[in-house]
Amino acid sequence: MADSNPDPGWYYCTKHGTVEHGDTCRAGDRLGPYPDRETASRALEIARERSAAWDKAERDWDED
């Protein structure tokens, strides 16, 4: 049975530079959801790491 009141998740608001729980700011300004406050606070770092990994994967693909 589905949870009728699921946790809304944690987000990082790029407009305000803050961690928020649930739908506080508009979706276009948020990164997430993340499982907890600590992870959401690392949203920009996580995004940089993922972008670097994708860039590397693309370079590796182009070299093949």
Residue-wise pLDDT for 5-40, tens only, equals 678 899 999 999 999 999 889 999 999 999 999 999
Alpha carbon separation from 46 to 2, 5, 7, 10, 56 (Å, rounded): 29, 28, 21, 14, 15
Domain ranges of the chain: 10-63
* Residue 12: how many other CB atoms lie within 10 Å: 25
Alpha carbon separation from 28 to 5, 24, 34 (Å, rounded): 24, 12, 16
| SS3 label, residue 14 | coil
Least reliable range by pLDDT among 2-6, 38-42, 58-62:
2-6
Q: Residue 3 — very low, low, confident or very high, per pLDDT cuts 50/70/90?
A: low
Pair type for strands 30-34 and 18-21: unpaired
| In the predicted structure, residue 2 carries a pLDDT above the cut 90 | no
Residue 62 is predicted with a pLDDT of 87
